[in-house]
Amino acid sequence: MKRKRHIVAAKMGNGHINLIEEDIPPVRPGTVLVEVHNSLVSPGTELKGWHGLRKQLENPSSNIKPKPFGYSNAGVLLEVGDGVEEFKVGDRVACIGIGYAMHTNYAVVPHNLCIALPEEVTFAQGSYAMLATVALHAMRRGQPEFGERVAVIGLGLVGQLTAMFYQLAGNLVIGWDLIPFRAEIAQKWDIDATVVVGMEDEVAATKAFTDGYGLDAAVIAYGGDANQSIEKIHQCLKCSPDGHLMGRIIVPGNAIFTYPMTLTNIDIRRASRTGSGYHDPAWEVGPDYPPVSMRWTTRTNLEVCMRMIAKGKLKVDSLTTHTIPLEDVDARISAIIDEPDRILGVILEMKH
């Protein structure tokens, strides 16, 4: 009988990342069983979390239970549950969802959190599904108009992918980041401009980028304290003749900042998750929403992302910096985790 192996961070004698083996969960109505070939590790939400958790676990007094990781993978369908009509055994799919599309060799996932992979898309490319869909939803929430100028603050995976989508929507994009390596990666896939914060004047560079007109929108694509970024964005936004700042600030992650009085005519839009449907249990395993009334759901966003990857327009390969076999995850992650400035997309490979 097949058994699943998946990553956990737990105090199991060493305080490192561990692989544990468990029974494969049953395939319930509305779900599918996937033989996973690749999964994507997020450097922001996962690698940083592993780094901090490892420090806690090295403390003999810590009492942390095993915690599984992962929310984006791709593979081949082995079994289809009752009520699932759009898939068949043998189909290649990309999957998303915390608690479902984990770093594992076998995963049971609700069918509406899966999307068929086009022939041109590899499993490694398909494993970008979750973060690509988060980025697409962030762009949609920003409601860009063709020709606008946009700054993406933070060039992690979500920031890079969001910048790509804004450019695909006909916008001119400047990316800000503290890490030169991330700016270099963005330049390789042809972002319009970059600024390395702390080494360059991001305000002067952005004003020049907008020809003095000012930004139409900015995306804060990182978590934590963003007050300094807000101050800099204020200096770059377009301004009305009566002195009121205007434009849109989109926040797809967990950025935190105060609400200063200068935010007069600025729209602040949260853009968490992947679109409608995700975290609606009835939708995840049941019928889709009527497209006539809800055009862009998590599922239809996933479909667009896979199509853009297939056409080479969403350049996810340029974001992958490491590929690691699942069996070697502890040693290989431990070797790179203390050098976060040289890491972006980390792909895990599962052997079958």
pLDDT tens track for 24-36: 999 999 999 999 9
Asked if 326 and 351 touch (Cβ cutoff 8 Å), the reply is: yes
What is the rounded CA–CA span in Å between residue 119 and residue 106? 22
* Residue 341, pLDDT score: 85
**Residue ranges, CATH 3.90.180.10, the chain:** 3-131+276-349
Burial status of residue 321 (CB atoms within 10 A of its CB: 0-12, 13-18, 19 or more) = middle
Contact 285, 112 (CB under 8 A): yes
Taking the C-alpha atoms of residue 116 and residue 100, their distance in angstroms, rounded to an integer, is 17
Q: How many residues belong to the chain?
A: 352
Q: Which residue ranges does the chain devote to CATH 3.40.50.720?
A: 135-270
pLDDT band at 197 (very low <50, low <70, confident <90, very high): very high
Q: Using the structure block, give the residue that is written with the tokens 């509406």.
A: 112
Q: Please tell me the distance from the alpha carbon of residue 343 to that of residue 110, in angstroms, as a whole number.
A: 31
By three-state DSSP, how is residue 48 classified?
helix
The tokens for 201 are 């004047």
pLDDT digits (tens, 9 = 90+) for 245-278: 999 999 998 999 998 776 678 999 999 889 999 9
Predicted pLDDT of residue 13: 42
Q: What is the mean pLDDT of residues 215-231?
A: 96
* Record: fold of 135-270: Rossmann fold (3.40.50)
In this prediction, residue 100 has a pLDDT band, given cuts at 50, 70 and 90, of: very high
Which class would CATH give 3-131+276-349? Answer: alpha beta
Which phi and psi (to 5°) does residue 108 adopt?
-105, 120
Residue-wise pLDDT for 295-338, tens only, equals: 899 999 999 999 999 999 999 999 999 999 998 888 888 777 77
What is the model's pTM?
Answer: 0.93
Helix (H), strand (E) at residue 166: helix 157-168
